[in-house]
Each structure stands twice: as structure tokens, then as C-alpha cells.
Amino acid sequence: MTEHTPLPGVPDSIPAAPQPAAAVPPETAQHPGVPALEIRGLAKRFGEKIAVNGISLSIPSGSFYGLVGPNGAGKTTTLSMATGLLRPEFGTALIYGVDMWEHPVEAKRLVGNLADGVRLFDRLTGQQLVTYHGLLSGLDAATVESRATDLLALLDLQGAANTLVVDYSAGMTKKIALACALIHAPRLLVLDEPFESVDPVSAANIRDILHGYVSGGGTVIVSSHSMDLVERMCDHVAVIAAGRVVAAGTVDEVRAGSTLEDRFVQLVGGRHQQEGPEWLRNF
Amino acid sequence: MAAQLLTPTLAPAPIAQKPTSIVRVLVSLRYRIMWNALRRNTWQLVGAIIGALYGLGVLGMALVGLTALGLSNSPFTGIVLILVGSLIVLGWGIMPLVTAGADRTLDPARFAVFPISPGTLRRATLLAGAVGIPGIITGVVAALTGLAWIHHPLSAIIAVLCAPLVLLTCLLFSQLVMTLATRLAASRRYREIIGSLMLVLVILLGPLIAGLSNGVSLSLDVIPQAAEIASWTPFGAAWAIPALVAEGDALGAILRLVIALASVALLAWLWGIAYDAAANAAKSPAAASGKVRDARGPFRFYPASAAGAIAARCLIYWFRDPRYARSLLIVPIMPFLFWFVTRQFEAGPELMAFAVPFMLLFTATATFVDIAFDGTAFAAHVSHGVRGIDDRRGRAWAFLTLITPLTIVVAIVVAVVSGTAHLLPAVLGVGIGMLLAGNGIASVQSAFFLMPVPDPEDSPWASKPGSGALSMAGTFGSMGVLLVLSAPALVLLGFAVGTGSTLLTWLTLPVGLGIGALFYWIGVRWGGRILDRTAPDLLARLAKHA
């Protein structure tokens, strides 16, 4: 915790233990109504296929927001458009009121992004990769170094700091990607499938870190297939199916008395009662 | 009861048991995958069509040439066919290394989970090669050599019969080289091997040039001798059979037939060994490189900024990613090639002043494939909102760090060996200028042109379908622009060489550097501005390639 230079309005607690309440982002304090992420009418086509068909969501500042949906619902596409990785055909995405596609540099400074399905520069060591991301976001060398050390310790990766990322397991790769998303102390974290193939202990550690981040004033959006996890971890949730928002609100509002999983199946449909073909049942 | 009745039909009945039908499935799989890839990417489709048209052009030229040869009934027909044929076979072995031609669809590693024997996979790989465009063209051209023996009907028939033998030799040879090269690239010693190979070549450059220029000179009367020698090798034996039959040398023809058949058997045997070794290695993936001793590595050398970080990362990649090292291999080879090609002109050693510019024509724009090599990892730059100019600068710095000392060393070696040290200032001026201009060009080109490149896990010699023509367009495009932009400096170098004027020699130094610096300055800015506008769209195209 030596020479951190906090970005404007960023809780200075990201890599270290949470220091709640001390740092409420001043901008948000001035405009308490400004959502961390507001997307309006986002839409994207891939050839003939409409991946995202007019999604609007408002993610309140300081919330832990879950994004759930069946495979191919458009979660990754939506998050990519919101974080400036994929140009939307229609609609806008505002990060704390800053338009991602009008002022990308300013907006991207506020977002930490763990994208799903993109490569990492995996011929770097873990330490080098985190350093790389820190320098890309414009931090100075001393800050990058101390934060990278903090992050690697926080994610139990010190032992692998000098190992090439290409030699990491899938779970370790997720963790190092998370470190890369956190290094510039963003106010909004967008995590696409952060718990995929992460072992239960690491997942619990990551959850603690995220909770600390949220209680320090940060906002987290996670997409996940695990209803259980979202139900336990998030305070808000949106259900996306076929490129549209089917339900959104606080977790209690969305599950409406039932479990999130039952509610999800009910909203999305597609369950069928079958035992599979005969040749798979007789041995 | 029901279960018992069902069991017999459950058993492997629906599975195709015969290896031949598996071969058919595998070959059609390769084409299905290729077609699907081409449908997803219009430019690769265009590239494939240009490639096919080019193939048709080659066929047409072969048809005309062979007919003319046949009608002329020249005594040199056999010699021409043996030499050209040997070069074709040799080319099959070398081309995949030069042009990234390996098709990895039938990579044994991908079939590890299927109950398919390596022998079946090998047959499928060979057959897939035979029905690819180069395979078809080689087979048809080999059969068309029958036309050249139009006055010797027996030789004509034998030439057609030898065509499959020739094709099989080509396919086996190329597969053997590919398998060995891929194994080499997969080994963790690869970059050390490439590095030492380059060092050895740079060191040998001098003695080789000095030694060979005193040796035998190529003249017309050695050509028949060369054909005679080639006919005893696996490369030329099959082509020599019809020629010897036409001469009435039955014993010679039979001996060559034995050699040709034995070559096929030997190549098949060697390839089998290499292939099985590769397949077993694929089943037990070794850790790529383990630990790194120096934690920060090149990050220490560059400023702690976005551009500096990109430079450090790129420099690491130049060493650690075998796809990069490939483009450096030609650095020591090119001056040698230049000397070899130009020595016929008997122009004197001063011509060697152009060896370094010639080499740089092929290397100075190497970074134009950088973003394609990044693949979707480029998302890191997009999501952090890296300024285009920082991206461009970082990539250029890394390459310049590496190539500038190499260029200076090669220039000094060439100058000392060829006795043209007095021209060194001019050569360095033009050379470093070309490096700067080349990076400027690559900065603009790579902001919109994406070369289809192998994935990082693939062999650096793997190819994407239809990439041949596109890579050629990209490479020659950047080369052409570099040639035009550095033309003034090259002309000045020409005058310096022609007149031997010390003033001109020293004048070329600042002029070359100045031109290079100017185009570097323009290119980095222009490319950066394009990238600022189009980075997300570039990323979307990279995701499509992947």
C-alpha cells in the first residue's frame, strides 16, 4: 500500500483489504443518481443472426449485478459493446454518464474488463502481463509495480508470478485476467464468466475480493451460468434471453419468492422431460 | 430381454470399420473445414480463388511449354524435364517452410481421442494433399510431360505412368519436412536453435561468399552433368525414366525406376517414424517454457508508458513466439542470395553495396503482421483505450531494437568481405532509412490489413485456407511501397557506387536517414489515427479469424 496514485473518484482499496465507506466516489456523491452503467437500446447483428435485439439496462452505482441467460442469449455481445470492444449497430452505453463510443478513452478509464473468449498475451509471465495492463492504462511504474505485487498476493498467484501465462491452468488464467482488469482501480468491473473453471477455494476468495470492492464503492457486473452463485453473490440480476432483457431488478424482485433457477427456467423456457434415446439407456 | 435384443445393434455396427472409408471421411472433412472457413471470410475466399486461377495459369503454361518441347523434338528434352522436375520435388519440400503452407486440419493431435490408427491418418493426409490444388497441378503437369515425348510414344506412355510416382514422392517429401519442422518448432529449444542457426549463417556469410566466388562458375556445359547427377537422386529419378527410355538405355531406366521406388519407400518409412513420434508427443504436451529468471525482462529497457510496455511485450514475443522468429531467418540468407544472383553480371564487388537494401526490402516491413499475430489478445489494447500512436510506436520500437544492430552487423560483414568498406556510410544511411520507412509503412498497413496467420499454438508453418495469395498481396504491397519511398536514397547510393565519390557516399548517409525518419514520422501518426478510429472493428475481424 505504498505509492498508490488513486484515479479520480476511485476507492483506493482495490488490491488491498477493503477499507469500506472511507472512499465513496466524489462524483457519485455529487450525482447520486448516475448509474455505473446505463445501456440504451443496444443492438447487434452477426450476418443474418440478431445477437442483441435492443437491450436497455441501468446498473446502479455500488451494486453487485448479475447477468444470466442461456447459451447464445447475447450476454458476451452485450458486455463487449458496453466495454468498448464491439461496436454496436444501435444504442448507447454510458459509464457513469460518459458515452463509451463518443469518448472511449475517458469511459474506458472507468472500466475494468474481464472478457470471455479472447486471448491473453500469454507468452508473458503473470507478473509481466499484469504490469503490461497497468502500463497500458497509463499508470506510472512505481504504482504498477506495487499494485501488481498486491494483486498477485491477493489472488494467490505469487508462486506463479514468473511462470508464463501459457503454462497456467484454466483457473489460474481466469485469476490473472481478473488481476489485469483490476490493476487500474476501475470504478466499474465487468466480468464475463469470471468463475468458469476456477476451483471453489479460489472462487470464494475472488467473491470476497469483489464484495470488498463493492462495499468500497465499486460496481461489479458478472455474467454467469451458475444461478446459485448469482443468487448468493449479487444484489441485482438481469435475465437475458434471445438478445432481450426478460427480467431485471433486485434479486428478490426477479426470483419473486421462488429460487432464481426455477424462475430462470420459467422465464426462459426450454426444459423438457426426456430420458434421452434408447441406445443411451441400455447397456 | 429388451436389453439383450438391443445389444447386438449397439455394438460397433454403425461405425465405419474399413480404413478406406475413414480415409474418405477424413479427406472430405478437410474440404468441409476449408470451405466453411472460406465462407466465413470473404478475403480468404478471394485469396483462394486467386490461388486457383494462378494454378490454372501454371497448368496452361505447362501445357504450352511441354507441347512446344515435344514438337521441337530437341535432344535436350530429357535434360530440361529432369532438372525442372527435380526442382519441383525439391520445391515441395522447401515451399511449406517458406510460405507457411502446412495444413493442420489432419493434425494427429486432433484425432488422439478417436480410434483411428496413425497409418490411416497418414494415408488420409497424403490423399488430402494429392487432391489439393498444388497436388492436382503437380500430378497433371507430371502426366502432361507425356506431350514432351510426342515423338517417342513408349516414353510418352511411361511418363504418364510415372506421374503418380512423382506425385507420391512430392507428397511424402513435403510431409516429412513439415512433420520434422513442426516437431522442431514445438520443442522448447526452438528459439535457441533458430538463434544459433542465424548466428552461424551470419558468421559463415563472409567465408561462403569469399570461397564460392573462387569456385566453379555456373556455365552451360555443366547443365547436362547436373541433370545426370539429379537423375540418380530421389528428386530426379522418376523424371529420368522416360528420358532414358527415349535414349534406348533400358538398364539405366530400370535402375532409375528402382531408385524412384526405393525413394518412395524410404520417405514413407521415415515419415512414418517422424509422424508417430509427433503423434505421441502430442499426447503428452510438455510445459512450454517453465519459469523465467528475470522477472521484468525487457520491461526494464523501455520507458514506463503504454508505448514502452508494448515495445517490451513485442520484444518478448519476437523471442518467444516462433511465428516471429520465422521472419528473421531470411536476414542472413538474403545478402548471400543477392551475391549469388548478381555475380553473373560480373559488375564488380561494388554491387554488393545493394545487398543490405535488398535484404531490408524483405524484412523492414515485417511488423505489418503484428496485430494479426496478436489475435484477440489485441482486446487488451482496445479495452484499455490505448492510443493508436502508442500502439504503433511500441511495435516499431521493439522491431527496431532487434533489427537495427543486426542490420549494422550484416552491413559491416558484407562490406569487409566484399572489400567495399568505403561505401559503408552510404549503405548504413540507406539501410537504417529503409528500416525506419518500413516501420512507417507497416504502421499504416497493419492498421487495416489483417494477414491470415497461424494461431500461436499452431506450428509457425501452419496456414489458413486461401492465405497464400493474400499473404503475397500483403507482402509485395508493403515491399513495393518501401521500394518507391526509398527510391531517392537508392538512386543516390547508385551514384555513390558508380562514381566512387566520397562526398556522395557521405551525403547518402543523412539523405537515407532523413527520408526514413520522415516516412516513419508520417506512418506512425497516420497509422495511429486509423487505429484510433478502427481498433474495435479490427478486433471484430480478428475474432472472426480465430
Handedness of CA B26, B28, B30, B36 (dihedral sign): negative
The torsion angles phi and psi of A54, rounded to 5 degrees, stand at 75, 70
B125-140: per-residue pLDDT in tens?
888 888 888 889 999 9
Order the strands of the A244-250 sheet from edge to edge: A111-114, A188-192, A219-224, A64-68, A236-241, A244-250
β-sheet bridge partners, residue A224: A68
Using a CB-CB cut-off of 8 Å, the residues of chain A touching B310 are: 136
Residues in Cβ contact with A80 at an 8 Å cutoff, skipping those fewer than 6 apart: A86, A115
The stretch A249-258 carries a mean pLDDT of 90
User: pLDDT averaged over chain A?
Assistant: 85
Q: Which of A120, A135, A161 sits opposite B306 (nearest CB)?
A: A135
> Which residue in chain B is spatially nearest to A119 when comparing CA positions?
B377
Strands A236-241 and A244-250: antiparallel
> Which residue in chain A is spatially nearest to B374 when comparing CA positions?
A121
DSSP class of residue A256? T
Using a CB-CB cut-off of 8 Å, the residues of chain A touching B291 are: 162-163
Using a CB-CB cut-off of 8 Å, the residues of chain A touching B321 are: 123
Lowest average pLDDT, out of B56-65, B141-150, B273-282, B475-484, goes to: B273-282
Q: How far is A197 from chain B (nearest CA, A)?
A: 20
- Give the whole-angstrom CA distance, residue A191 versus residue A76: 10
CA B164 to chain centre: 26
Residue A4 has pLDDT above 70, yes or no: no
B504-522: per-residue pLDDT in tens?
999 999 999 999 999 999 9
Q: Name the CA dihedral angle for B273, B276, B278, B281, rounded to a multiple of 10 degrees.
A: -130
Residue B208 has pLDDT above 70, yes or no: no
pLDDT class for B198, splitting at 50, 70, 90?
Answer: low
- Give the whole-angstrom CA distance, residue B508 versus residue B490: 9
- Give the whole-angstrom CA distance, residue A33 versus residue A111: 18
Q: Which of B305, B384, B456 sits opposite A133 (nearest CB)?
A: B384
List the 361-400 stretch of B: residues with Cβ below 8 A of A: 374-377, 379-387
- Give the whole-angstrom CA distance, residue B399 versus residue B365: 10
B486, B437 Cβ separation under 8 angstroms: yes
Residue A6 has pLDDT above 70, yes or no: no
Pull the grid cell for residue A246: 426478460
What 3-state class would DSSP assign to A94? Answer: strand
Could you tell me the residue ranges of all domains in chain B?
A: 16-196+220-283, 297-545
Lowest average pLDDT, out of A156-160, A199-203, B29-33, B339-343, goes to: B339-343
- Buried b or exposed e, range B325-348, using 16+ CB within 10 angstroms: bbbbbbbbebbbebbeeebeeeee
**What ipTM was estimated for this complex?**
0.84
β-sheet bridge partners, residue B29: none
- Give the whole-angstrom CA distance, residue B426 versus residue B404: 15
Residue B252 has pLDDT above 50, yes or no: yes
Interface check for B289 against chain A (CB to CB < 8 A): the answer is yes
List the 315-334 stretch of B: residues with Cβ below 8 A of A: 316-317, 320-321
Strands A64-68 and A236-241: parallel
B340-394: per-residue pLDDT in tens?
777 666 667 788 889 899 989 888 988 888 898 999 999 999 999 999 999 999 9
The stretch A44-51 carries a mean pLDDT of 88
Residue B505: the pLDDT is: 92
List the 519-538 stretch of B: residues with Cβ below 8 A of A: 536-537
pLDDT class for A222, splitting at 50, 70, 90?
Answer: very high
Kindly determine whether residue A279 and residue B376, on different chains, have CB atoms separated by under 8 Å: no
Residue B434: the pLDDT is: 96
Amino acid at B198: M
Could you tell me the residue ranges of all domains in chain A?
A: 34-110+188-267, 119-185
Select the residue from A44, A103, A128, A178 to test the B interface by mutation, using most B Cβ atoms within 10 A. A128
pLDDT class for B209, splitting at 50, 70, 90?
Answer: low
Kindly determine whether residue A84 and residue B290, on different chains, have CB atoms separated by under 8 Å: no
Residues in Cβ contact with B19 at an 8 Å cutoff, skipping those fewer than 6 apart: B117, B119, B120, B123
β-sheet bridge partners, residue A38: A58, A94
Give me the CATH code for the A34-110+188-267 domain, please: 3.40.50.300
- Give the whole-angstrom CA distance, residue A174 versus residue A115: 10
A123-139: per-residue pLDDT in tens?
899 999 999 999 999 99
Q: How many CB pairs under 8 A join A and B?
A: 131
- Give the whole-angstrom CA distance, residue B458 versus residue B356: 32
The stretch A200-224 carries a mean pLDDT of 91
The stretch B248-261 carries a mean pLDDT of 93
Kindly determine whether residue A86 and residue B536, on different chains, have CB atoms separated by under 8 Å: yes
Residue B60: the pLDDT is: 92
> Which residue in chain A is spatially nearest to B318 when comparing CA positions?
A123
